[in-house]
Amino acid sequence: MELGMDQARDRGRVVVQIDVDGRPIAMEQLRDEGFLSEGAELVEVTSLTEREMLLAALELGRNAIEVSQVHFTRSAELIQAGDRPAALAELGTGIELWRTVEGTVFRDAVPKVPLASLEARLETHLAELRTALETMSTAVGTGDLVALSDALMYEFPRTSATWTEFLGECMRSVEEQGTRTGTEEEQP
């Protein structure tokens, strides 16, 4: 395992998974002396370049936004059906997905993308997202479920589509040019 991890690091790659005899291992197992002392027939180390990791993060972000929109649409439908508790649960799930995307993709991945006027466009999109989320928050706070349903069903899909398109553009830029940190990494 150490040899594989060292080789990946020497090649500028990041280890993302280690399989022992066909089973992925958890990080805590790497600290367990008993586990480490056991023999193994096959150890596989999966690693990615910085570029591959960036592309994966952007793709995960796009997928999370799409899933979030499904939850928002379902929330709107449940509001219209009069099922407030289920609607709010769906809303919460959708918002949690957006928080995850914001915390990982928008803050960590997008700034590494080599895209002209990236910072300005990112700030514009973030401002639009904040406005859309504030509209939903205000509707929830005032108990205006009609306004919330309308925002979820008719307004927020535009926000989701804008972000999905933007992340797709980021992915195309990374595929064409590499990353902002400089050189194109060695491919597997």
pLDDT digits (tens, 9 = 90+) for 133-161: 899 999 999 999 999 999 999 999 999 99
C-alpha–C-alpha distance, residues 49 and 41, integer Å:
27
User: For position 188, what pLDDT does the model report?
Assistant: 40
User: For position 36, what pLDDT does the model report?
Assistant: 67
pTM of the model: 0.74
C-alpha–C-alpha distance, residues 155 and 81, integer Å:
19
Contact 173, 113 (CB under 8 A): yes
User: For position 180, what pLDDT does the model report?
Assistant: 55
Reply yes or no on whether the pLDDT at 34 is more than 90. no
- In this structure, what token pair is assigned to residue 107? 């803050």
For the stretch 36-75, pLDDT in tens is 677 778 878 777 788 888 999 999 999 999 999 999 999 9
Contact 139, 145 (CB under 8 A): yes
